Amino acid sequence: MKPSVGTPIDRIDAHKKVTGTATYAADTDVTKVAHAVIVTSTVGKGAIAGMELVDARRAPGVLAVLSHLDAPRVASGKGSHNEHNPGERVLQLLQSDKIDYPDQPIAVVVADTLERAQHAASLLKIRYTPDAVVATIEQAINSAYTSKAMAHGEPDSNRGNVETGLGAAKWKLEATYTTPVENHNPLEPHATIAVWHGDELTLYDATQGIFGVRNRLAEIFGIPKTKVRVIDQFVGGGFGCKGSPWSHVALAAMAAKVVSRPVKLVVTRQQMFSLVGHRPHTIQHIRIGCDAEGKLTAIRHDVINETSRFDEFVEPSALQTRMLYACPNASTSHKLVRIDAPTPTFMRAPGESSGTFAIESAMDELAHLAKLDPVELRMRNYAATDPQMGKPFSSKSLDQCYRAAADKFGWAKRKPQPRSMREGHELVGYGMATATYPANQQPAAAKATAKPDGTFLVQAGTQDLGTGTYTVMSQLAADALEVPIEKVRFELGDSTFPEAPVSGGSMTVGSVGPAVVEACKQLKAKLAATTDRSKDIVAEVKTELKERDLYSFHSFGADFVEVRVDEDLGIVRVARVVAAFAAGKILNPKTANNQFVGGIVWGIGMALQEDTVRDRRTGRIVTHNLADYHVPVNADIPQIDVIQIPEKDDHVNAIGTKGIGEIGITGVTAAIANAVFHATGKRIRDLPIRLDKLFV
C-alpha cells in the first residue's frame, strides 16, 4: 500500500468548508439561545462615575444588563498574572469601576435577539471620571523595566564582551528599528456560546486551546475542570489571538448563568482591535560589527515593547539574534513600558517576525558597508551549532535554502549598487533575508479505536485553525495502521478527548502527531493479538518529550524578494518572491505550501501596510476596521515560489517534523526593506514602508 504521508492530498475537511456545512463556534445550533453584546468604555483611563441602565433594561426583549454594579462575583476576580503560564491574560469581568484602557468591557446586555441586544446597548448612559492617558511607548520610555514574563527563555542574554568586539570591528553599525501595533484579523471573529446544565458548563468557543479555556473557566467560576466542556471543531483562523481565553468567554458564561439560558456572544470586528490582544509596538536598537573579512565581531540587540498597566506581555524579538549567526560576542535584552492600552499577545511568529526585521535589516546594512554580497556575509557567519546554547542543531539546512532560493530567483543578476537597476520609470530592487522559527513541542495524548465495521476512529483534543490538522493527522494514522486513509476518521476540538496543547508556536503536528502514531501502533499490535473484532478495541497513549536538552531545534529558510518602486510617486510593489524552507519532514506538500505562502503574504502586509493607529490624546484605536486597517488583497500579491528543502531530523520528535505555520512570515519584512533600499538607496527602519517615508 502506498504511504499517505508525504503525498499532497486534498484537505479532508475541504468539502464541508466549501459547502458551508463546517460548524464554527457561532454556527452551533443551540435551542433558545439568547444574544449578548459587550459595551465598552469611551475613555482610556479613569473610573465609571455613574451608569443609567433603566432604559436598556426596559427595552423589548432584554433579559439582563450586567455591569460592575450587579455582575456576579467570580472566584478569580480580575485574575492575576501567572508566571507559570505567560499566555494566560488578566481579564476584565465587570468586577470594579476602574477603567484601565480604551474600549474596555464595562457592561453586557443580553436579549432574545442580537438586534434587540444591540439596540438596548445603545441606550446605556455612562458617566466617567477620566484620567490622563499614556498612549505610546515614547511617552513613557524612561519607565522601561525588565520583566520575567517571557514565554520562552530569559529576557536578557550575554556571551563574550560586546564592547571589545565592537572595538575590534572594521565595519560597524548602530541603528534603531521599529514595528507598529498590529492586530489579528482572522476571518472568523471571536465567538462563544455558553450553556449551563446545573453546575456544569459547556462552551462552544472559537479558540486555539480548548484545554486552556476549560482550565481558566473552571478557575473563574470555582468549579472542577471535569464540569467544564469546551467544543470547537473548526476555527476560522487564529494566528495567536485565539490562543488565550479572553474576557468575552467568561462574560458569555456569566450572562448565561444570570439569565438561565444559553447565551451567544460574538465579538464585533471593531472590538477585535481592543478585546483580544495585538502585536505590540517594538523599538529595537542594534549595534553590530564585523572585521575586514566579514566575520561578525559583536551583536547587541535591545528590545522595548509596550504592555498594559495591569498585565505583562514580552514580545521576544531578540531571541533569534542569540542563535542565528556565529558571533563570539553577543548580548540581548527585552524591556517593557506600561501604557494605557490592552494587553498585547502572541501574533504569528511572535518575536521572530518583528525581530528578524531588525536583525536582518542590520545584516543587510552591514553587508553594504563592508561591500559584501548579503548572502556572502551570512555564509561567512554561518552557525554550524547554536552559538548561545553551545548545542548542535537537531538538523540545519539553511545553506541549502540560500543556494536553492538564490538560484531560482536569479540573485546573480543583482547589481550591488543601490539605484543601479530600473525598468522604465520603476526602480528595481533585490533583497533577501534569513527566516527562522523554533521547532517547539509539548506532551500530548491521543486515542485510537478499531470499530467492528473495519474503520478506525482517532481522537485528540487539539484544534484545526485551517492549517490542515484534520488531514495530516489522518495521514499519519493511516500509515501507522497500514490502512487506506478512507478507513480513518480523525476527530478533534473536544475537551473530553485526550489532552493536547494549544495550537500555537507551530507545535501541533510535532506534539500531537507522535501521540497519534504511537496510539495507532499500539492499536495495531492489539489487533494482531486478537481474533475477536466484534467490539471496539482501544489504545490510548500520552507522549513524553525526549532529547529536548541535547539539541537546539529550529526551522530555517531564506526569502528573496524583488520590488518595483515608482520613482515619481514612491509607490512600492512587491513583484515576486522566491523562498526556500527546511522544516524537517513534510507530511503533506500541498497543505505545507499553503502555510508557507500564507506566512509570506502576511509578511508583505506587515512590511507595507499593517499599522494600528492610536489617538495619542485618548488612546483609542482609530483604524479599528478593515477599511482603515489595511491588509493585502489579491492585487497586492505577486508570484510566490516556495521551495521545500527535504530534511531528515531524527532528534526533533518521533515523526521528524518541525512545524511550518509561522516560519513563513519571518524574514519577509526585512527582505522587502532590503530590496527597497537596493532600489532607492533609502533605508527604511520604521514599518510599515509607505511612500511618504521614501520622500523624507
Q: Out of 3.30.365.10, 3.40.50.1440, 3.30.9.30, 3.40.50.20, which CATH number does the structure's domain 143-182+278-439+550-694 have? A: 3.30.365.10
The pLDDT confidence band at residue 79, using thresholds 50, 70 and 90, is very low
Q: What is the pLDDT of residue 545?
A: 87
The amino acid present at 125, given as its one-letter code, is K
Strands 263-266 and 34-40 turn out to be parallel
Where are the domains positioned within the chain?
Answer: 25-131+187-237+242-273, 143-182+278-439+550-694, 442-542
Mutual angle of helices 589-608 and 352-370, in 10-degree steps: 70
Question: Residue 77 pLDDT > 70, yes or no?
Answer: no
Mutual angle of helices 469-481 and 508-528, in 10-degree steps: 30
Q: Out of 3.30.390.30, 1.10.1060.10, 3.30.365.10, 3.40.640.10, which CATH number does the structure's domain 25-131+187-237+242-273 have? A: 3.30.365.10
Q: Average pLDDT, stretch 225-253? A: 98
Chain-centroid distance, C-alpha 487: 33
Q: Which residues pair with 510 in a beta bridge?
A: none
CATH 3.50.40.10 fits 442-542, yes or no: no
Q: How far apart are CA 583 and CA 438, in angstroms?
A: 10
Q: Is 552 helix (H, G, I), strand (E, B) or coil?
A: strand
Q: What is the pLDDT of residue 614?
A: 97
* Radius of gyration (C-alpha) of the chain in whole angstroms: 26
Residue 325 is classified by DSSP as B
Q: What is the DSSP string of 362-388?
A: HHHHHHHHHT--HHHHHHHTB-SEETT
Residue with cell 513583484: 575
Q: What is the pLDDT of residue 226?
A: 98
Query: What is the enclosing helix (H) or strand (E) of 228?
Result: strand 228-231
Q: What is the pLDDT of residue 220?
A: 97
% of the chain with per-residue pLDDT over 90:
96
* All residues at 6 or more sequence positions from 580 whose CB lies less than 8 Å from its CB, including other chains: 400, 401, 402, 404, 405, 408, 557, 558, 642, 643, 644, 645
**Helix, strand, coil % (nearest 5) of the chain?**
30, 25, 45
Q: What is the pLDDT of residue 1?
A: 82
Question: Residue 80 pLDDT > 80, yes or no?
Answer: no
Question: Residue 129 pLDDT > 70, yes or no?
Answer: yes
The pLDDT confidence band at residue 295, using thresholds 50, 70 and 90, is very high
Q: What is the DSSP string of 407-442?
A: HHHTGGG--SSTT--EETTEEEEEEEEEEEEE----
Q: Which three cell numbers stand for residue 567?
A: 520613482
Q: Average pLDDT, stretch 289-305? A: 98
pLDDT in tens, 368-383: 999 999 999 999 999 9
Q: Which three cell numbers stand for residue 50?
A: 455613574
* All residues at 6 or more sequence positions from 278 whose CB lies less than 8 Å from its CB, including other chains: 181, 182, 183, 184, 241, 342, 344, 345, 347, 612
pLDDT in tens, 518-561: 999 999 999 999 989 899 999 999 998 887 899 999 999 999 99
The amino acid present at 476, given as its one-letter code, is L
Q: How far apart are CA 508 and CA 462, in angstroms?
A: 8
Q: What is the pLDDT of residue 633?
A: 96
Q: What is the signed CA dihedral for 241, 246, 248, 254, rounded to 10 degrees?
A: 150
- Does the fold of domain 442-542 match that of domain 143-182+278-439+550-694? yes
Cα maximum dimension of the chain: 79
Q: How far apart are CA 134 and CA 125, in angstroms?
A: 25
Residue 281 is classified by DSSP as P
- Helix residue spans in 88-209 (DSSP H): 114-122, 162-167
pLDDT in tens, 306-328: 999 999 999 999 999 999 999 99
Q: Is 455 helix (H, G, I), strand (E, B) or coil?
A: coil
Residue 349 sits at the vertex; the CA angle it makes with 601 and 514, to the nearest 5 degrees, is: 105
Q: How far apart are CA 281 and CA 130, in angstroms?
A: 25
- Helix residue spans in 586-662 (DSSP H): 589-608
The pLDDT confidence band at residue 83, using thresholds 50, 70 and 90, is low
Active site residue 662: yes
Mutual angle of helices 247-259 and 210-221, in 10-degree steps: 50
Q: Which three cell numbers stand for residue 102?
A: 480604551
Under 8 Å between Cβ of 689 and 670: no
Under 8 Å between Cβ of 227 and 191: no
Catalytic residue among 426, 518, 562, 662, which?
Answer: 662
- Cβ neighbours of 131 (radius 10 Å): 13
Q: How far apart are CA 357 and CA 28, in angstroms?
A: 41
Under 8 Å between Cβ of 247 and 39: no
Q: What is the DSSP string of 275-312?
A: SS--BPPEEEEEEEEE-TTS-EEEEEEEEEEEE-SS--
* All residues at 6 or more sequence positions from 520 whose CB lies less than 8 Å from its CB, including other chains: 448, 456, 458, 476, 477, 480, 481, 539
Question: Residue 76 pLDDT > 80, yes or no?
Answer: no
pLDDT in tens, 430-451: 999 999 999 999 999 999 999 9
Residue 442 to residues 260, 400, 514, 575, 599, Cα–Cα distance (Å): 38, 29, 11, 39, 23
pLDDT in tens, 333-369: 999 999 999 999 999 999 999 999 999 999 999 999 9
Q: What is the pLDDT of residue 514?
A: 98
Query: What is the enclosing helix (H) or strand (E) of 556?
Result: strand 554-566
Q: Average pLDDT, stretch 676-696? A: 96
- Cβ neighbours of 669 (radius 10 Å): 31
Q: What is the pLDDT of residue 175?
A: 98
* All residues at 6 or more sequence positions from 253 whose CB lies less than 8 Å from its CB, including other chains: 192, 194, 196, 201, 203, 217, 220, 221, 263
Under 8 Å between Cβ of 111 and 35: yes
